[in-house]
A and B are shown apart, each in its own frame.
Chain A
Amino acid sequence: MTNEPLLKVKNLRQHFKISREFTVKAVNGVSFDIFPGETFGLVGESGSGKTTVGRSVIRLYDPTEGDIEFNGKNIAGNMDRSTRKMLRKDMQMIFQDPMSSLNPRKKIADIIGEGLKIHGFCESKTELEEKVAAILQKVGLLPEHGSRYPGQFSGGQRQRIGIARALVMNPKLIIADECISALDVSVQAQVVNLMKDIQEETKCAYLFIAHDLSMVKYISDKIGVLHKGYLVETGSTQEIFSNPRHPYTKNLLSAAPIANPRVEKQRKLLSYDSINADYEHDVIRQLSDTHFVLEPQGGN
């Protein structure tokens, strides 16, 4: 990939001041690039700051420090009108909880058409209706479903509606924040396949946030491993899975259960003292074009 990255995140910090004495340091200097049409998987456990990264990038939060460049424009600080409009159109988000991500009092067609209406992308009502119907079909639902309410759908269907809401804006980057973890196993595969199909068709990029390594491996081109707000290792999927360098990455890989009883029953968990891990003074070392790992200073 020789072209310019679509999203450049550099040294992003996101701190939340809870009280005068207490600040939550959710994200501490995270840097990564996403190229057009590529999927970047962001893996981390609860509290690692992965959701915060996604929300800071899409500017639901105001980043404390760092640069975010999207589509050639800086979106980290105050944005002018056109930049804001570009961001709100070209970057979309799919949320985690299919139950709370759709307004229960709104019809599906209104939920999907909201963005089009806000930005005035449709000349007429019929155009809007046509667009909504088309997008519903694209995500595997029927146009008639537009007149229903979210409560009348199953979890998987709702997540499809959430995808449709993002997709109708024709975005360049979709942030998928744990969008499958609340779904049943058999439905997860449907949604992930749908996301892959969409990517093939529209060439959009994904920032796929998850705690589940195996799904991330399946969908991502590149993976970043997040721990305690630090990106401890980034690399191509191949590099992360066949040549993990950071002890935390290794620990994660060894903990993910495999559906193979004879192997799984014998497997040993690599131990890693994640509670006392402190990355504050660690530095990033480059191992290859794409492979970076966070290491203690002066380490080999």
Chain B
Amino acid sequence: MENNYTPVKEDFRFLPRRDSVDDARFASTDYWKNVARQFAKDKFALLGAALIVFVIVFAIFAPLLSFYEYDEIVAITDATGAEVVAKSLSPQFAGGTTGYFSDKTFLFGTDDMGRDLWTRTWHGARVSLLIAFVAILIDMIIGMSYGLISGYFGGVCDNLMQRFIEIIGCIPTLVIISVLAIFMTKGIGLVIAALLITEWIGMSKIARAECLKLKEREYVLASRTLGAGNFHIMFKQILPNIVGPVITQVMFSIPVAIFTEAFLSFVGVGIVLPQCSVGSLIEAGFNNITILPYQIMPPIFVLAFLMLGFNLVGDGLRRALSPKIGDV
């Protein structure tokens, strides 16, 4: 403030009248830019994102660049020059002297069938990521639509749809799997089918709650008075406003889905050999944990990274998306 300003005579002339250009300099902050900035400031969220990116990059490139197929039983030339199957080798470089000599490199060692664990681990990570992707699709397509429709139409429709959710929600996943296993062959298809039945319930509840909150907003009413159809309102007016909570929910349901797959594979109703997933690798490693402890480490870390990564990102997103004081 220029309190010490001494006015001179010329200061007291009227300024020309301005038209009411009403530009009150409102901060031109884009919502998503703001979210991105908040997210970028969040160290934990960035760590989570880094972990996910790390796993994704290796899952894509490591099997491509590997010398072995994931189901290939590798033969090596041992110290005596004989050709043998590379069973249960500890991690080693070609010609290395740690443990059993081999002329080939096994970064994570091999399993008790003689398959390269490095390749298998990253191949297994691919399965986990596929499951993550499927979980996203299930959440977004089934869960969100179900919730939006239930919340928007309300009344009898909502009542029926919610009762249906309660019924399937209270059946334990394992029971569903067992029933499904009667009709389906074991494998990734079974896991996806199991996820299809129950995975979207959480998302539909979130979408429904948000929809209930928003459907009486005046902009929704305005859309109705303009003659917009129900689906236009649901997907064009309401949906863009619930993207925040929806994304957060997706981020939290991904690790649940990954873990479900790993768990099912671990108990033996998931992936079938020689296919592998993080879950089945852990199961295999767990059997040998006392003699070959290195076998269980890589899949466990991949699983941990994914779980931790998605949870951290989900938390970070929730923080970035929630309105704060000072946000206009």
Contacts and interface: CB of A to CB of B under 8 A. Distances in A.
B20 interface: yes
Interface stretch (B55-63, B107-115, B222-230, B284-292): B222-230
B20 A93 contact: no
B219 A85 contact: no
B175 interface: no
B328 interface: yes
Chain A, interface size category, equals 35 or more
Interface string A73-99: 000000000001100110111011100
A267 interface: no
Contacts of B223: 114
Given A97-B218, A105-B240, A152-B26, A89 B31 contact: no
Interface string A122-153: 00000000000000000011100000110111
B232 A103 contact: no
Contacts of A104: 31, 241
B80 interface: no
A102 interface: yes
A115 interface: yes
Interface in B236-261: 237, 240-241, 243
A59 B18 CA distance: 43
Contacts of B221: 55, 60, 93, 95
A191 B256 CA distance: 52
A89 B227 contact: yes
Contacts of B324: none
A157 interface: yes
A84 B240 contact: no
A119 interface: yes
A70 B22 CA distance: 37
Contacts of A84: 227
B15 interface: no
Contact of A103 (B29, B240, B328): B240
A88 B22 contact: no
Contacts of B217: 100
B235 to A, nearest CB: 12
B31 A153 contact: no
Interface residues of B, number: 28
B218 A152 contact: no
B4 interface: no
Contacts of A142: 21, 23
Given A149-B30, A151-B328, A96 B225 contact: no
A100 B31 contact: no
B227 A153 contact: no
A297 interface: no
Interface string B78-110: 000000000000000000000000000000000
Contacts of A85: 227
B26 A115 contact: no
Interface string A165-202: 10001000000000000000000000000000000000
A58 interface: yes
A225 to B, nearest CB: 25
Which of B28, B218, B237 has the largest count of A CB atoms less than 10 A from its CB?
B218
Nearest to A58: B225
Contact of B218 (A91, A101, A148, A157): A101
A103 B241 contact: yes
B24 to A, nearest CB: 5
Interface of A: 55, 58, 60, 84-85, 88-89, 91-93, 95-97, 100-106, 111, 114-115, 118-119, 140-142, 148-149, 151-154, 156-157, 162, 165, 169
Q: Which 10 A-B pairs have the closest CB atoms?
A: A88-B227, A105-B240, A101-B218, A115-B226, A95-B218, A103-B219, A152-B26, A93-B225, A100-B218, A100-B217
Given A97-B218, A103-B237, A152-B29, 9 more contacts: A92-B225, A95-B221, A100-B218, A101-B219, A102-B219, A104-B241, A114-B223, A118-B232, A149-B31
7 contacts: A88-B226, A95-B221, A101-B218, A106-B240, A114-B228, A154-B22, A154-B24
